[in-house]
Amino acid sequence: MILFPNAKINIGLSVIRKRKDGYHDIETVMYPIGLCDVLEYIEDKECKQGAKTSITYSGNISFSGQNICLKVINQLKGLYHVPPVKMHLLKNIPTGAGLGGGSSDAASLLNSLNKTFSFGLSYTQLEELSGHIGSDCPFFIRNRPSFVTSRGDKLQEIPVILKGYFLMLIYPGIQINTKEAYEEVIPGNKSGNLNKLILEPVEQWQYCIKNQFEESLFRKYPLLAEIKEELYKMGAVYASMSGSGSALYGIFRKEIKIPAKLKPYFTYQEILT
């Protein structure tokens, strides 16, 4: 089975409060984009007794820590019989970028295993289960533009229309640890009404929709602020950092030639649908 887990961008992000469980309540809009990893898995039908699920990697493999795909397998094993599988993950989505690549890998695998092995889990059950794997995972179960609240597990689909706009994504190679990014943010303790602001024309977003992480991370990494400024100079109708960084994106009305100063970085473009 070959899967193509896609990235997301955040349009606006506010930290409301720190929760007793150590997570934070947030408000954000998540929007799926076409940049994808490639995840392949096969059932190891000829495995010897005691064989375990395994995974190999290629591409952008500069990440570290526990593998989220193996975490999916371990979560399912507590509920169902899951035979050993061999996986290979080609990483195209940059890590430490706020694009949700790891969460998308996990959610895509969970969705597929549910179908392949006929577990019979509904979307709601998959969202609940995936929330124990990663905070962004529930979004990728249905993978539709959504207003996201609580710790990332409360989703409301919204009619954000970006069809025909061009997206330019810039990743400058700075990996930002999500936990450390949250430690620098002062919660606002109130809703920012993002679910209403997102319905304003895209050209108005730069005046009313903000990513709260930009304030602290732009001080720490001035290059990020410079890239955002450059995106506006290039004609973006809206530019922002995604998630807790460090990728930045611009939304344009037409296709834009990448300036020489941005070519050393990872860049990605697509027409949004």
Structure tokens at 94: 């940059």
Q: Residue 111 in contact with residue 120, Cβ under 8 Å?
A: no
Residue at token pair 């999500």: 178
CA atoms within 13 A on the CB side of 134: 24
Q: Is the distance from CB of 90 to CB of 58 less than 8 angstroms?
A: yes
220 counts as catalytic: no
Which of the following is catalytic: 25, 37, 105, 136?
Answer: 136
The secondary structure of the chain in percent helix, strand, coil, rounded to multiples of 5, reads: 30, 30, 40
Q: How far is CA 252 from the centre of its chain?
A: 21
Contact 220, 175 (CB under 8 A): no
**For residue 175, which of 68, 251, 61, 269 has the smallest C-alpha distance?**
61
Cβ count within 10 A of residue 3: 20
For the chain, the maximum distance between any two Cα atoms, rounded to a whole number of angstroms, is: 61
Give the three-state DSSP class for 70.
Answer: helix
Based on the residue annotation, tell me whether 115 is a catalytic residue of this protein: no
Residues serving a catalytic function are 8, 136
